[in-house]
Amino acid sequence: MRERFLVGFDPFVLPFLCGMVFVLAYCLFYLVRILAQLSAEDRKKFFKSLLLPSNALKNIRDMFLDCLIHVKLWKRNPNLGYMHSSIAFGWFMLIVIGHIETFMYVPGKAGLFYYPIFFRYFMEVDNQELKGSLLFFLMDFFLLIVLSGILLAMIKRIWRRFFGMRRTTRLSITDHIGLYSLWAIFPLRWIAEGFTAGVAGGSFMTIPINMLLKNFMSNPENFNIAWWLYSIALGTFMFALPFSRYMHIPAEILLIPMKRAGLKVYHPRKGFALAQIYTCPSCGVCIDACPMSANKQNCKDTTVYLVRQLKRNNARRMNAMSNKCLMCGKCQEVCQIGLQSYDIRMNIRERARYNIQLKHNYLASYNPDIKQAKVLYYAGCMSSLTPVIGRSIKKLLSIAKVDYTQMDEGGGICCGRPLILAGKKAEAQAMIAKNTEIIKASGASILLVSCAICYRVFKNEYKLSGIRVMHYTEYFNELIKKGKLPITKGNVRYAYHDPCDLGRGCGIYDEPREALSFVGGLAHAEKERAMSVCCGGSIGSLTLNHEDRKPIVEASISNMLYSNPDYIVTACPLCQKTFSMYSPVEVLDFAQALCNGLQEKDVN
Amino acid sequence: MAENIIIIGGGPCGLEAAKTLRDLGYAPIILEKKQELGGHLRKWDRLFPEGVQAKQVLKELTSGLKGIEWHTSVDIETIEKSRKGYTVTLSTGVSYNSPALLLTNGFKLFPAEKKEEYGYGIYDKVITNADLEQYFAKGKDNVIKKPKTIGFVHCVGSRDEKVGNRQCSKVCCATAVKQACEMKELFPDATIYSFYMDLRLFGRNYEDMYLTAQKKYGIRYIRGRVSEVSEDIDGSLIVKAEDTLLCKPLRLKIDLLVLMTGIVPENSSASLAQQLNIELGEDGFYKPKDTILEPCMAENNGLFMAGACTGPKTIPETLSEARAAAVQIHNYLNKSWISGIL
Amino acid sequence: MDFGYSLSKSSTMKIENLENSKFKALAKLEPDATKCIGCGCCTASCSAGVFADMSLRQILLSLQRDCQDKYLPMLQNCMLCGKCMLVCPRGINTRHLILSICKIYGIEQ
């Protein structure tokens, strides 16, 4: 093996070289920028976590599994997984082996960016040796892998269903440039290496193509054109990269350790959020997952498009999109890179201006007379519109002989979550403080909450040390398991709906199911637990109107009816009210379902 | 032999149409889903505005059915359209042919449980207008025991997007006025409140009824829709509403709450519409060929409809429509025979 | 000349020359602003209404009549809990309506 030219340079490498330098400079600039945008505390946290050896190992593992192999995509759909990992891992291997070759044969040129990439142009084989052939074989093998991935990518543009996707993202112009140049890179490489295969040697991919098109390929005039085209394709891709979705390739390397450091989003498009925005590959998995996109509506308001507007800093669209969102958290659950869309949207909402100074002065004069009891029950605003919930809960509590009292009989103070969801976190503090005061004064050891929306805020925003905040599904499940509730199992089948704030919001999936299994059978919904579909009534959405919500609700109901249940059961007054509007099957509250399982003699 | 005409629904509308058709020389066949003829009229005690006994009207309608074939507890399996008209097959396997088909399948009272915040089915002291009529008819009830304060809630399941019914049910305002007066007759010491959004007393003498309710019976009309109902410790109800004319929210403790459930399409309407290819309005009632000129005729040939299946109607309106539909069927058949279509 | 009568401001509303460009802007931002039938459910069920004056129905009507100054400060009591949204028979998106009113009319005192 020897060099073909004394000067290890040819002008055709320039497009690639410029592109490469540009990408590196751009990434470096943004790396510094993102790190600079972090608060001093976060930055310290980040570097500390980077240096921890166990974290470093985990980061490398994640980078390998997520960036190269795309394990999450494999789990989602094998075709989609193969397409991504063949391109990512194949290309990665081509680069790695290119470098190995350079190191082995021309260590002096290893410092040149372009040399390993255009190795076959600059090198010539004099006699085939085993080591060389093996490397050549590997190179051709990985080229084949990448080409197969590219072929699948082309198929994906026309046949999405094959990859388990109903809708994909509409690409922007730079995305298109990136996409087509990426598609062009590998076939051009194949042709270019096919040209040189006659002199520089090759393997099972490149030699046949050289032989097949001998007349054309042996013409040295065409020789350079092919290499030029290959380099231009690479250069184009590199120049398009920072402005297209392919920015996720370098960005993910930063995001993985940042996530491990446990950073929090504090601004919709700065610091940690910016790293996430760049890492979004625009795959569009969130479009299908979004409950708003039922009936093909609101697709343009899903997270992937929000990210695009964040990149463009389009304030009007950013606000509109974040205000429309149901805040159900599903897109975050399905997201391949774990984009924290919920936090990003909350940050956008917190920055919205409404020209109002809320004055909740009246809270000070509110001092309800609450009798001392072990369990303090907070029904929440919505529960007064669904009297069956309160009634069933009180019935169960008295049967179990629980010493309880209600905190908001006849109307209490809002838990504060609706205000937080409207971006008024500071204003919500007044309510949080007052409720905390009332709860602490009650002397209760358990705060029982029947509304999933309230529960989430009590759990996450309130500081109630010494008081156990329990959702009624948790509490009654415990009572049943302790044998305090004499219930029997009937032959009815319940389909349990996971309220967003309870399931994805607080991770409670098992308790309600376990409790329900004591009174009847469980009928599976098509999508449930972390994948459950928002009922459509969420107060998380500020701008979706009653009529806009109808298709969302109906789609969610049909998800619940997947295995023909006798009842739909939910554990949130809002879900119950929303479902009841359109459901052909009766919708029960969780406590109501438990009451149905009470043994007759205890009911009277 | 007289030509058969199938009528689906044996309420006031179906009965009146059958009689008219018989008098015009046809042999009507009434198919009724329920065990008895008469429809919702069976559940009612007196009718507004004069307070005529519903029994009287029912007796009038269900007597003199000579020449009319009727079947109750009927379950329709399929309806097929042919060139000669319609073939209706029952679940028993029996089938009937008819050159024209008349739909008089009426309405359904809004199921008050669906308006959960009013607590029907949860609180004992919440009843519906239909429950109250039953009480008037029977004279006894487990819940109604010398109520001191009674509330009537208008528009339950009507004019309410949240239960999917935008339409006004038309007859409940008059019914509420009538029932409030009747309650005052029965319980002269009781105070009666009526919560309304708009009082729609459109018919002849209805306004007089309203005036009597105010003047003679002292019914207190409050313009405000009840937003929620809760139960007090002593078992009485607490009603929340806003007195919108005084601009003050109010809470009222009462012993009995009567929900004026509205008129919604009968369950069978959707499936019949699908089988017969009739368009349904957004409200779920059948859409006639023309709401002004042809309110009793469907787009499809030989298909007619009358009564509350095309929207809320009073009984006299229903009966007039029944007669109109019968005459239209007669005209349609005459024309078809002359032109040889049938 | 003095006839002994003093002029007091007439309590009659003059509505032929209403300044309603702001209301139009509101209706554009939240189309539900024109849907109210004044049933009073929002006021009756209001969580804040238990403690202080709050009537979305009155506020909305005052905006339509351009006499909102007296009514708008009520919005400062709102907890945005969304109960009014659930009880509204016209399905008005009350929470967004409230936020939109604030945005357009502004209540900062």
- In whole angstroms, give the CA distance from residue A86 to residue A247: 18
Amino acid letter, B11: G
CATH of domain B4-106+266-339: 3.50.50.60
Q: Using one digit for the tens of pLDDT, what is the confidence trace for C60-96?
A: 999 999 999 999 999 999 999 999 999 999 999 999 9
- The subunits that touch chain B, with at least 3 C-beta pairs less than 8 Å apart, are A, C
A486: left (phi over 0), alpha (psi -120 to 50) or beta: beta
Range of the domain at C40: 21-105
The residue written with tokens 């699948």 in the block is A152
The residue written with tokens 């339409």 in the block is B167
> Of the ranges A32-36, A437-441, A522-526, B138-142, which one carries the lowest mean pLDDT score?
B138-142
What is the predicted pLDDT for the residue at A602? 47
Domains in chain C: how many in total?
A: 1
pTM, rounded to two decimals: 0.91
- Does C33 map to a domain? yes
Strand order in the sheet with A521-522: A521-522, A493-497, A567-570, A587-589
- Does C62 map to a domain? yes
Q: Residue A386: its chain B contacts at CB < 8 A?
A: 116-117
Contacts 24+ apart (CB under 8 A), A29-38: A30/A274, A30/A278, A31/A254, A33/A274, A34/A254, A34/A271, A34/A272, A34/A274, A34/A275, A37/A267, A37/A270, A37/A271, A37/A274, A38/A263, A38/A271, A38/A272
The topology under which CATH files domain A487-603 is Rossmann fold (3.40.50)
Strand order in the sheet with A404-406: A404-406, A375-378, A446-449, A468-471
What ranges do the domains of chain A cover? 12-249, 264-351, 372-477, 487-603
- Does C83 map to a domain? yes
- Does C3 map to a domain? no
Which residue stretches of A356-464 are H helix? 387-399, 417-421, 425-442, 452-460
Q: Is C91 on the interface with B (CB under 8 A)?
A: yes
Residue to mutate among C43, C50, C58, C83, with most B CBs inside 10 A, is: C43
A313 token code pair? 């800093």
Closest-CA residue to B283 (of B263, B268, B299, B303):
B263
- Judged by CB atoms closer than 8 Å, whether chains meet at A539 and C95 is answered as yes
Q: Residue C46: its chain B contacts at CB < 8 A?
A: 249
**Confidence grade of residue B194 (pLDDT, cut at 50, 70, 90):** very high
Q: What is the DSSP letter of B120?
A: B
Give start-end residues of each CATH 3.50.50.60 domain in chain B. Answer: 4-106+266-339, 112-263
Residue % of chain B over a pLDDT of 70: 99
Overall average pLDDT of the C43-51 stretch: 93
What is the predicted pLDDT for the residue at B342? 66
Q: Using one digit for the tens of pLDDT, what is the confidence trace for A528-559?
A: 999 999 999 999 999 999 999 999 999 999 99
- Does C9 map to a domain? no
Establish whether domains A372-477 and A487-603 are of one fold: yes
Portion 21-80 of C in contact with A at CB < 8 A: 30-32, 45, 47-48, 50-52, 75-80
- Does C31 map to a domain? yes
Q: Residue A413: its chain C contacts at CB < 8 A?
A: 47, 79
Q: What is the DSSP letter of A63?
A: I
Contact A57, A257 (CB under 8 A): no
- Does C93 map to a domain? yes
| Nearest-Cα residue of chain C relative to residue A414 | C81
Q: Residue C48: its chain A contacts at CB < 8 A?
A: 360, 362
Q: Residue B117: its chain A contacts at CB < 8 A?
A: 384-387
CATH class of domain segment(s) A372-477: alpha beta
Do strands B237-243 and B248-254 pair parallel, antiparallel, or not at all (unpaired)? antiparallel
Q: Using one digit for the tens of pLDDT, what is the confidence trace for B195-216?
A: 999 999 999 999 999 999 999 9
Q: Using one digit for the tens of pLDDT, what is the confidence trace for B299-327?
A: 988 999 999 999 999 999 999 999 999 99
- Judged by CB atoms closer than 8 Å, whether chains meet at C92 and A546 is answered as yes
pLDDT greater than 50 at residue B136: yes
Q: What is the DSSP letter of A169?
A: P
Overall average pLDDT of the B42-51 stretch: 94
Min Cα distance C36 → chain B (Å) is 12
CATH architecture group of domain B112-263: 3-Layer(bba) Sandwich (3.50)
- Judged by CB atoms closer than 8 Å, whether chains meet at A543 and C47 is answered as no
| Nearest-Cα residue of chain C relative to residue A412 | C47
